[in-house]
Amino acid sequence: METALTILLDGLVFSSYLFIVSLGLTIIFGVMKILNVTHGSFYAWGAYTAAFLIGLAANAGWPDWAGFGIIFVAAILVGLVLGLLLERGILQFMYQRDEVLIVLATFGSFLVLEDVILLVFGVNPYFAFQPMQLLGAVELGGIARDTYGLTLIGLAVVLAAGSWLALKRTHWGKLLSAVIFDRELSMAMGLNVSRVYIVTFVLGAILGALGGAYIAPTVSVAPGFGVDVIVLSFAVVVIGGMGSVPGAMIGALAVGIVRALAVHKFPQFELFVIYAVMAVVLVFRPEGLFAPVKARKI
């Protein structure tokens, strides 16, 4: 019973983390049809910036709770700068070209940004434990857990609800749906599609950076931080359906729970199961479980 609860809790925490990390990726894919490898860089830059700033704040004698504000500021800062830089500097010249070439261009950008991190932040790991320390641990059904991990679940719920509301209930969300459904027709209707693209990309970048920034206090932020996240979030997005927000949620839950199960019961299959699920889903439903309906074009 206790193991089952631990697995469930671990799974939920990890699912929430995966959802936060994958949300930006799936939104960018849904709107722009770009499989964005640079997402790993947003994540790593978010983590580095947050860890660096939290360290600075701690040295300057700021209270520990300031760390939470810093996390969000860092994410927005990184997302704005990197998102704008990439979209305006590289991607806007590529929209007419092959999807695969765009993937390669983001891969190139990812490699460049990986090394810029080393140049800016150096090779030593950063620790920003203050926010995690502040919250301490709680006991849930006889299992001690760090509270910070549990707040991940809260953040994931807030982001899920927020993105659902924004997409379904606001004017902007409806414009976005129109572009997702048919880019050319939206253009013909007088929609400024290139502005929609910029905003979407920056938003996706902020979400990617937020994933990294929020996870930074729980780990040591070291070189190569973004490498594993890319394939992990690819797996989540592919399983759920590329470009679908509910899909990312389902994908994150599936991967999170399955992984937690593997970690506790068959530790040697930890990585295997994630990609096995991804492969099986791709084989039977290449568009993913919850892919948005595509307009039929003649």
**Residue 76 φ then ψ, to 5°:** -65, -40
Q: According to CB under 8 A, which residues from 16 to 35 bind other proteins?
A: 35
- Shorter beta-carbon distance to other proteins: residue 122 or 162: 122
- Shorter beta-carbon distance to other proteins: residue 38 or 130: 38
Q: Under the criterion CB under 8 A, does residue 85 sit at the interface with other proteins?
A: no
Among 137, 286, 294, 295, binds other proteins (CB under 8 A): 286
Distance of CA 114 to the CA centre of its chain: 17
- Shorter beta-carbon distance to other proteins: residue 71 or 221: 221
Among 2, 59, 60, 100, binds other proteins (CB under 8 A): 100
Per-residue contact flags (x/-) with other proteins for residues 208 to 247, judged by CB under 8 A: -------------------x--xx--xx--x---------
Per-residue contact flags (x/-) with other proteins for residues 241 to 280, judged by CB under 8 A: --------------------------xxxxxxxxxx-xx-
Among 26, 109, 233, 244, binds other proteins (CB under 8 A): 109
Give me the least distance between CB of 212 and other proteins, in Å please.
18
The CA distance from 150 to 291, in Å, is 29
Give me the least distance between CB of 120 and other proteins, in Å please.
11
In this structure, how many other beta carbons lie within 10 angstroms of the beta carbon of residue 75? 26
Among 63, 99, 168, 185, binds other proteins (CB under 8 A): 99
- Shorter beta-carbon distance to other proteins: residue 65 or 266: 266
Among 1, 144, 188, 283, binds other proteins (CB under 8 A): 283
The CA distance from 58 to 261, in Å, is 37
Give me the least distance between CB of 214 and other proteins, in Å please.
24
Of 174, 198, 244, the residue nearest 83 (C-alpha): 198
Structure tokens at 146: 């760090």
- Shorter beta-carbon distance to other proteins: residue 104 or 138: 104
Give me the least distance between CB of 112 and other proteins, in Å please.
4
- Shorter beta-carbon distance to other proteins: residue 144 or 283: 283
Chain residues binding other proteins by CB under 8 A are: 35, 90, 93-94, 97-101, 103-105, 107-116, 118-119, 123, 227, 230-231, 234-235, 238, 267-276, 278-279, 282-283, 286
